[in-house]
Amino acid sequence: MKAKNINFKDIIEGKRLTFLVGAGCSVDAPSCIPAGREMMNKIIKYTCQQSEIDKLLEIEQLRFEQLVEIIRDRLDPGLKIIDYYGLCDKPNIQHFFLAEMLKKGHFVMTTNFDFLIEYALIQSGVPEGDIVPVITKKDFMTYNCPQVLFNDNKKAVYKIHGSTKNIITNKGTRDSLVATIQAFGLGKEGESIFQIEPFKRPMFENISRNRTLVMIGYSGNDDFDIIPTLKLLKDVENIIWIDYITNDGGIEQIYEIDDKTSKNTEKANKATRILEGIYSMKNAKNIYYIKCNTSRLLKDLLKINPLLNPNEFSLDPIEWLASNVKSANKFQKYIIPYKIYNSFDMHSDSMRCLKSLLSLAEEYGELSWKSTALNDIGEIYKAQGKYTESLKLLKEAFKIDEQLNSRSGKATRLNNIGRIYEVQGDYIKAIKYYKESLKIDEEIKNLSGKATDLNNIGFIYKKQGNYAKALDYYNEALKISENIGNLSKKAIFLNNI
């Protein structure tokens, strides 16, 4: 990586630009929306047991979408948490810059959940009828060519991670958001598991071809969703990553990624490591890394002086959560930390939470929570290779589910018991339990569970060398995952096929 004696204006002069906008864009006043890590800390403090908070806050690899998925599954099925971002209607200088870029024929796509680019367009005098937020599958299929839209005097804002609603038409689009959160799954550090839906691919091709991509609002900690996006951008002329620093002395530091960058990868920050990976793909002619105060840089380029709201957005997330998202009960306050720890194989921390949960469940006579705790402790034992202990607990949990007549619980336990026999090589018993689980999931119309059962049965047939039968089950599981929009499972099933 070598320093360049040029400025940002020189690099973009006369270029056709496409902006990829992250959460950092909405941090500066008057927007003042908490960045991802800050918001995550607030969510953890609101939903988790006090004794676990400090330990949870130390998990640097935890991603916002991972946390939101866990909270969704246990506390917030409607993803009300995301509504917080839509409450701010105070765009900052970066949003107004992007609005001006759109007016000049440049393109903008964002992974943000707020509406601040749209508000900046409106406050810049663009008629609402000329603003096109692209959010849903239908939107992406209809408006996959931003140049066609601009030729029709339309300014498109491509919201590639979805949105709770389209603020121009006032139509709810929450399903797009649910699909996005589901697509992330629970990836570990270094995994790029976010799957771009096929219907978005034509847009990615059209928005980047022969253009300079400018990335703002990303720290590099979001690499697990940025990398798959960047890989889709073909025939890009240049890539520019603007990394925010508070005090840049009024001038940006510009570096070009080159062959020497890879030799210093271990010492590099996440942003430059990502750019080095993109450089090795040879998708762009030039790749630049810029350190500067983003708002200062973009303000200097603006030829207008937008009227910023003098009042900052100051709604405290915890206060808002307390009024809009139900608080976690005594059991949920342990299961949520467990889910977080477990996603990073932090077994001792997971076990601590589950034993506390089990103790509480026994104290209050909550059999459903006792079954959950026994099941999850059994799963940890399985991961540790303690199969006898695991089977004992899973079968105890199954008996409780029978007592409660919990068919979904029984299906889960049967599936987990089947996995124990599978890893022990007892395929006859494994397939017996998997098929019992499948029967229940079919009866209760649990499509996600059915897909998992089918995949597991297919895996057994594959192990037994019955490839034709394995493919039948894999393909049926794949079809279900496609129908319900579970992209993370779809990726797993495709890999198995």
Q: Write the CATH number for 430.
A: 1.25.40.10
Burial of 430 (0-12, 13-18, 19+ CB in 10 A): buried
Q: What is the largest CA-CA distance in the chain?
A: 74
Binned at pLDDT 50, 70 and 90, residue 186 comes out as: very low
Q: Are residues 411 and 432 in the same domain?
A: yes
pLDDT of 171 > 60? The answer is yes
What is the C-alpha separation between 270 and 28, in angstroms, rounded?
Answer: 22
Domain housing 107: 2-318
Residue 108 domain-assigned? yes
Report the range of poorest mean pLDDT among 158-172, 374-388, 480-494: 480-494
Q: What percent of the chain has pLDDT over 70?
A: 91
Report the range of poorest mean pLDDT among 8-12, 220-224, 486-490: 220-224
Q: Are residues 284 and 345 in the same domain?
A: no
For residues 159 and 265, which has the higher predicted lDDT (pLDDT)?
159
The two structure tokens encoding residue 247: 């005090």
Residue finishing a domain among 267, 290, 318: 318
pLDDT, position 267:
58
Q: Say if residues 337 and 353 touch (Cβ distance below 8 Å).
A: yes
Binned at pLDDT 50, 70 and 90, residue 192 comes out as: very low
- For 41-61, what is each residue's pLDDT tens digit? 999 999 999 999 999 999 988
Q: Are residues 76 and 225 in the same domain?
A: yes
pLDDT of 182 > 80? The answer is no
Binned at pLDDT 50, 70 and 90, residue 193 comes out as: very low
pLDDT of 27 > 50? The answer is yes
What is the pTM assigned to this prediction?
A: 0.87
pLDDT, position 260:
73
> Count of CB atoms within 10 A of residue 443's CB?
10
Q: Are residues 335 and 438 in the same domain?
A: yes
pLDDT of 485 > 90? The answer is no
pLDDT of 149 > 70? The answer is yes
Binned at pLDDT 50, 70 and 90, residue 195 comes out as: low
Residue finishing a domain among 318, 347, 362: 318
Side chain identity at 285, as an amino acid letter? K
Residue 111 domain-assigned? yes
- For 209-251, what is each residue's pLDDT tens digit? 999 999 999 987 654 566 666 766 778 999 999 999 999 999 9
